[in-house]
Amino acid sequence: MAFDAGVRKADTVNFLDLEFSGLDLDGALDAISARASLDLPFAYVATPNVDHIVGLANEPGRRALYDHAWLLLNDSRVLKGLARKAKIDLPLAPGSDIAAHLFETVIDKYEPVTIIGGDRESIEELKRIYGLRDVRWHEPPRGLKHKPGAVVRAAAFAAAQPSRFTFICVGAPQQEMIAYAIARHGDARGVGLCVGAAIDFLTGVSTRAPQWMQGLGLEWLHRLVSEPGRMWKRYLVTGPRVFSLFAAWRASIAA
């Protein structure tokens, strides 16, 4: 079934065989704010990081989830650094920063906001912090990736909510699966944002790295130290594979 995912920006940046939108944080915020309208068909924003890239290499079938995104924004300083080695300018537009800016300066506290993911405590805290009066929240079950029925239900819930902004915060590739399914509904409106742990950061459940660590590309180390039990495999086992993927990609484009 074909659907209108919105118009992708023309100035894309091909890196690791993904067509990134080539927007920095300010450009992404301008585009998202302008596109978020109940008069336009639903379009979604994906924010790949190293985990996404490695996951896509392991499961090539995920590619459609990224190819159909309206905007594909770089969420990783590691990817930015690797791109620089290939003499490619890959701007940074972290999903958590996008979510924070939207809640702080764009979203009116009385307008409806749809959120997929998080728990009741974090949603209540988000409402308290930003004074939100109309949050439509859906909590999908664990193991969502292997529960197609739950993906359908989450997408149906979001499609039924007349919100300019839908935040999908259940990790990759689950959040992109839901966003893709919402877009296929045809009657959904607004913009979906696949922004992972953004709600946890905004509500203090998790803490972001200090600015100096972010600037040095060490946010991964901060998360590893903060949540070793949950993050050790991502950052110490699967994540490093991005370097071999980069080397193979660079060799392929040089051939």
pLDDT digits (tens, 9 = 90+) for 230-251: 666 666 667 789 999 999 999 9
**pLDDT of res. 205:** 77
Q: Which residue has the higher pLDDT, 215 or 216?
A: 215
Place of tokens 């990736």: 145
**pLDDT of res. 113:** 98
pLDDT at position 3 over 70: no
Percent of the chain beyond pLDDT 70?
Answer: 85
Pairing of strands 71-72, 43-46: parallel
Picking from 135, 138, 139, 137, the residue whose alpha carbon sits closest to that of residue 112 is 135
Q: Calculate the dihedral angle through the C-alpha atoms of 187, 193, 196, 201, rounding to the nearest 10 degrees.
A: -130
The whole-angstrom separation of Cα 35 and Cα 7 is 10
Mean pLDDT score across all residues of the chain: 89
**pLDDT of res. 23:** 96
The whole-angstrom separation of Cα 24 and Cα 113 is 24
pLDDT at position 186 over 90: no
pLDDT at position 145 over 80: yes
Give the full edge-to-edge strand order of the sheet including 43-46.
Answer: 71-72, 43-46, 191-194, 165-169, 113-117, 135-138
**Domain boundaries, given as residue ranges, for the chain:** 13-254
**pLDDT of res. 7:** 43
The whole-angstrom separation of Cα 75 and Cα 24 is 10
pLDDT at position 211 over 80: no
**pLDDT of res. 2:** 38
The whole-angstrom separation of Cα 37 and Cα 225 is 40
pLDDT at position 48 over 60: yes
**pLDDT of res. 18:** 95
pLDDT in tens, 63-112: 999 999 999 999 999 999 999 999 999 999 999 999 999 999 999 999 99
Which stretches of 157-251 are assigned E, i.e. beta strand? 165-169, 191-194
Prediction pTM value = 0.90
Counting beta carbons within 10 angstroms of the beta carbon of residue 221, is it exposed (0 to 12), middle (13 to 18) or buried (19 or more)?
A: middle
| Inter-residue contact 227 to 80 (CB < 8 Å) | no
Helical segments of 186-240, H only: 198-203, 211-215, 219-226, 228-233
**pLDDT of res. 164:** 98
